[in-house]
Structure 1
């Protein structure tokens, strides 16, 4: 299936900085305690606990958070939205009543990420305040955050009219 436009958004820097700080602290503590044999902190964990902390917060935690991304694809048969590693969604053009580029307040939807608002429907966004508001034929709405919403809507309209 041909992809006409693909947009990938990753977490903003202010989301990544705390992850890096926590990861760095865990690695520093492990090296200090295991390699240099200097207990880390006022009430140090055992060496086994330090290894567990390293695996969980020094490897798995950053790998998980750094893998989070929002991918939107406009294809011949519809719109594909994937909020990795959590959810994928496909919207066939036959189910879409209209789509428009918009500016919105993310906090009115509950913030960034995957959100559901009883009045406004599902939202998939990573950062910023621009997106594509999609109204489905069943009356429900979906908002997809985007850095280039006008371009996504333009491609959707071109493909849908074919």
Structure 2
């Protein structure tokens, strides 16, 4: 069945990317200092292997934020959510005890949050989301930037 609600989110906050780019400059500076024998920070510069591992970690972290996506698709039959590269969920409406839009406040940051009163929270920004409780007692929350549209779709599905 065709999705009646579709949303794709990513980490697009300017301040986050400013921080990540600043962190990304660290291995570039260290590589420059190693290769060109520039004055080093401190008395014992990092080894070549250490520099490679450090650089891979930093650039891997930046790549992770670049590729992370929160996709939500909701139709008459199910809720499908993917928080790439971590998790993919598919829940049939018949397994849902309750689903409601909530203001979840600040749950300790954005991304994947475990152990909140909403269960596992998947979000990229903001403080609004679809809180879902399943018949088996499990809970999770999917963040949204399209609260009005999602509210309308939920009303149609509940009918």
**Structure 1 length normalisation: TM-score?**
0.78
Contact 1:134–1:141 (CA<8 Å) still a contact in 2? Answer: yes
The alignment yields a C-alpha RMSD, in angstroms, of: 2.5
Residue of structure 2 equivalent to 1:130: 128
SS in 1 for 2:70: strand
Contact 1:123–1:142 (CA<8 Å) still a contact in 2? Answer: yes
* Structure 2 unaligned spans of 5+: none
Q: For 1:1-162, list aligned pairs within 5 A.
A: 2-11=2-11, 12-34=13-35, 36-42=36-42, 43-57=44-58, 59-107=59-107, 110-117=108-115, 119-159=117-157, 161=159
Aligned residues: 157
Contact 1:131–1:148 (CA<8 Å) still a contact in 2? Answer: no
Deviates more, 1:16-25 or 1:41-50: 41-50
Contact 2:5–2:75 (CA<8 Å) still a contact in 1? Answer: yes
Change (3 A) 1:157 1:91: farther
* Structure 1 unaligned spans of 5+: none
Contact 1:99–1:153 (CA<8 Å) still a contact in 2? Answer: no
In 2: Cα distance, 1:50 partner to 1:39 partner:
16
Q: What is the deviation of 1:159?
A: 4.7
In 1: Cα distance, 2:117 partner to 2:55 partner:
42
